Chains A and B, each alone.
Chain A
Amino acid sequence: MPEVIQFREGFYADVRTEDRYRTVISMKAGVLEEMRNRRERQAFVRVYDGRMWYYASVTDVDHLQRTLDGLYDAATENPHIGEDPVVRKFERNRDTLMRFEDCSVRDIPLCEKQALLLSCLPLLSEDHCITMPEGKYLDRSSLFCFESSLGARICYDYQTCGIALSFSMAEGEKKFTGNWQKGGTRLDEIQGLESEIRASVAEQTAFLRQSVPVEAGEYPVVLSPEAAGVFAHESFGHKSESDFMLSDESMREEWQLGRKVASPILSIVDDGGAPGCGNVPYDDEGTKCRKNHLIRNGVLSGRLHSAQTAAAMDEGLTGNARAVDCTFEPIVRMTTTYIEGGDLDFDQLIAPIRKGYYIKTIRHGSGMSTFTIAPSLAYEIIDGKLGRPVQISVISGSVFETLGLIDGLTRDVKLLSFVTGGCGKMEQQGLPVGFGGPFVRVSSMNVQ
């Protein structure tokens, strides 16, 4: 924290600062498009008087006391603020947790990052159908400090880095945009991936040439860990964000813990301590992260909270009050959300399927009462074996019906990290989250 903050009696207040360093290197068709380092310092200041929250987002982090005092003046002093149910929920952690000092991307020269990207790009030019190869190297290193009027004082670091490749392909009338990306928290996690990239490009060029339109209908579907993770995130994770329960009292009855909501083999977890881009040791109001079961063996067993929602619903904190940056206030968000593993291997999972589809990679997904996933690479499953590549616009289904139709899970769970995209919720887009799961079999889904 750049200065010593003086908190006033009669209010709750906290100050969050972030020193964010970012690198973007972008190449397109062999030409350098972008190369920049950005360093930003921002702060978000909150004051609560028991009735209203007052927030300020500032870039002048050297005069935070002045900003804080301005918010105090707008709020109303409350001698009983310490008894407010929201204030009583706040943790008072004191910690310094620097995990990336020995491998900070800030210390790695730009030329070394560019060389890593350059080593990947020739792999995109090995097939003549690729017309526009593009590649990006991206990293982020953040130093967070959080201090509250209750005595919390936390400093920790956060880091991600990765390579994202995309390639437009065209052959005759056939067109397809391929993608590959790998995210990690240390540079060595994204080095030496040439054989993985080459295999992925070959698979996607084969998809361009060989894929056939899907026969629309209801089929058994097998989701890869990527697709299963998106399904968990979109179909159920967002419904576990309990801020959506504050406006409508009847929602609490509808979403009572202990209610059976899914197949008994299904368990979904959100865990801020899981490794990867969704790892946040503390959330943005100073709550320590933890593993939270949202569904355990098919039963609704938890939900995600900020202090405000935990107080309103008289439940415990979960470490899920997150903001995309210091422009915004923390709201209830996921961290790393995944489906827990089962007891099958992949061959056993697809063996009973006479005709169905395997969704390997996806373009995007969303979920309300109905969820949809737009696949990128997908394959037929015929008589228990993988078949031809198929073009599918979307797979969709009712969230709760589909949760009940999950009838097979493989043992191993894969968690994925990304350096582009992220989770969007209303005005706060692009929050880094992780997701994953095992391979998941659903007995019936709508395929278009």
Chain B
Amino acid sequence: MEKEFLKEREHSVTLNVTAGRIDSYRELERTTGTVRVYDKGCIGVAGCLGEPDEEDLTGRAREALAFGIPYPCDLGEAAEQKIEGGEEIIPIPEFIPAMQSFLDRLGKMCPKFAFSNKITLMDQRSEYRSSAGRHLLSSGRRLDVQLLVQDRGSGNLFDTFLGWTGDRFDPEGMLEMFRKQYDAFYTPADLSPGRYPVVAETSSVFSTFLRHFTGDLYAAGASLLSGRLGQKVFSDRLTLRDDMNPGTAFGACFFDAEGCVSPDFRPALVENGVLKGLLTTKKTAGQYGLPNLGTASAPYDGVPGIGFHGAYAEPTARSLRKLVPGRAVFLDVASGGDATPEGHFATPVQMAYLMEDGQLVGRLPELNMSGDFFRMFGEDYLGSVRDDPQWENYMLSAVVMDVAKA
């Protein structure tokens, strides 16, 4: 009987911000353990919250084989790989004073903004072990500053976000980035209806269409991409990957829930416009004759399922200035958009900036944007940028879309 053992540990400290002041401190410690056993084409899974007792879990997983859940046993080759996270970002005792000092400076720099929400310091560790001799260990840290912003007097729940995720605390860099957004926020700008390059975080550009990349939907013929694996369907400029690389996905685990490790820790869905992969598990890949991408996720006590960690579009330019010279729209907050089954996408945009030569120059009124799936990522896909000098740690992509005032 083959077996896998997984253990995950997460420790986080989260500060709540209200009106620019830290008003709470939350500490979370969570450990989970999982054992999966395979026998006669079936899987048995047992999991626990808290420190795992491997023997007990193994016994319970064996019992769960009786459910008869079909699952192939493919534990991969023996391997040892370990990636340990970097330096401590901020010692816990210094976390509150450091963040309050940063918030005080931010408040002085942006007096018309009211800040709320969370700042989190996260430390994660994942281990995978199998009876095939595979042993993987990943640990990482990250700092998440996610501030909701209300323009004082706007009457809105929130008007924009200021966000930063990284593996170090760089108050000067963050303040400089946030100041540019603040200045642009209070500079009115306008735009005639038309087709414009739209710049947005890569994950939000692709999120609506991600379901069409799932192996199940593909095999069922219900995906817009069905039957096109291996074919060129998008722009040459588009290479789209799932980002599990701790160098860009801070704190991420470099292997998936089934112990798969991809080259550069970024398995490819699309390479130079060619559909190369679909979101699968070992089971669905085998079932439908698809390559297994290695992006599975799993609850600690459940069977592996389809997963996706974060979009990474291979950079095609060094800066936004190079990617979208001239006039463009920077999409900041867009809530409520969706696509028809045929792939026509439309979304209201609550907050957007006008860009000139890659710089934010002013705040646009509320907009509507629309486009079509194959065109957006075909002829209308302009490319992507990672770490634009103005947007450190951000992955941004640009697509030409129809833009009109709401």
- Interface on A for B, CB 8 Å cutoff? 24, 28, 31-36, 38, 40-42, 52-60, 74, 131-132, 168-170, 173-177, 213, 238-239, 243-244, 246-251, 254-255, 327-329, 363-374, 391-394, 396, 426-427, 448
Cβ of A413 to closest chain B Cβ, rounded Å: 25
Determine if B50 is an interface residue (Cβ-Cβ < 8 Å): yes
Pairs A-B, 5 closest by C-beta atoms: A372-B336, A168-B222, A132-B220, A53-B24, A374-B338
Q: Is there contact, CB below 8 Å, between A394 and B50?
A: no
Interface bits B329-362 vs A (CB < 8 Å: 1, else 0): 0000101111111101111101000000000000
Q: Is there contact, CB below 8 Å, between A32 and B70?
A: yes
Q: Is there contact, CB below 8 Å, between A247 and B116?
A: yes
Q: Is there contact, CB below 8 Å, between A393 and B156?
A: no
Q: A370 vs B68: C-alpha distance in the bound complex, in angstroms? A: 49
- Taking CB atoms, residues of chain B closer than 8 Å to A132 are 216-217, 219-220, 222
Return the chain A residue nearest B226 by Cβ.
Answer: A170
Q: A369 vs B219: C-alpha distance in the bound complex, in angstroms? A: 40
Cβ of B285 to closest chain A Cβ, rounded Å: 15
Q: Is there contact, CB below 8 Å, between B69 and A394?
A: no
Q: Is there contact, CB below 8 Å, between A36 and B45?
A: yes
Q: A175 vs B224: C-alpha distance in the bound complex, in angstroms? A: 8
- Taking CB atoms, residues of chain A closer than 8 Å to B339 are 393
Q: A43 vs B337: C-alpha distance in the bound complex, in angstroms? A: 37
Which of B18, B31, B302, B406 has a CB less than 8 Å from the CB of A34? B302
Cβ of A124 to closest chain B Cβ, rounded Å: 12
Which of B69, B115, B223, B347 has a CB less than 8 Å from the CB of A33? B69
Which of B118, B148, B345, B366 has a CB less than 8 Å from the CB of A370? B366
- Taking CB atoms, residues of chain B closer than 8 Å to A248 are 19, 114, 150, 152-153
Q: A54 vs B217: C-alpha distance in the bound complex, in angstroms? A: 46
Q: Is there contact, CB below 8 Å, between B406 and A370?
A: yes
A170-B345 contact in complex given A59-B49, A248-B153, A368-B335, C-beta closer than 8 Å: no
Q: A394 vs B369: C-alpha distance in the bound complex, in angstroms? A: 12
Q: Which of B108-153 contact A (CB under 8 A)?
A: 114-118, 146, 148, 150, 152-153
Q: A250 vs B156: C-alpha distance in the bound complex, in angstroms? A: 11
Determine if B23 is an interface residue (Cβ-Cβ < 8 Å): yes
A366-B336 contact in complex given A59-B50, A391-B341, C-beta closer than 8 Å: yes
Cβ of A448 to closest chain B Cβ, rounded Å: 5
A394-B45 contact in complex given A169-B222, A247-B114, A369-B366, C-beta closer than 8 Å: no
Q: Is there contact, CB below 8 Å, between B26 and A55?
A: yes
- Taking CB atoms, residues of chain A closer than 8 Å to B366 are 369-370
- Taking CB atoms, residues of chain A closer than 8 Å to B340 are 213, 391-393
- Taking CB atoms, residues of chain A closer than 8 Å to B216 are 28, 132, 168
Which of A52, A213, A365 has a CB less than 8 Å from the CB of B336? A365
Which of B26, B70, B114, B115 has a CB less than 8 Å from the CB of A329? B26
> Told that A56-B26, A132-B219, A393-B337 touch, could you supply 17 new A-B pairs with CB distance under 8 A?
A32-B68, A34-B303, A38-B301, A53-B24, A54-B24, A55-B27, A57-B28, A59-B50, A168-B221, A170-B221, A170-B226, A213-B340, A238-B157, A251-B155, A254-B153, A366-B336, A369-B156
Cβ of B40 to closest chain A Cβ, rounded Å: 15
A40-B49 contact in complex given A32-B69, A244-B158, C-beta closer than 8 Å: yes
- Taking CB atoms, residues of chain B closer than 8 Å to A366 are 335-336
Q: Is there contact, CB below 8 Å, between A168 and B220?
A: yes
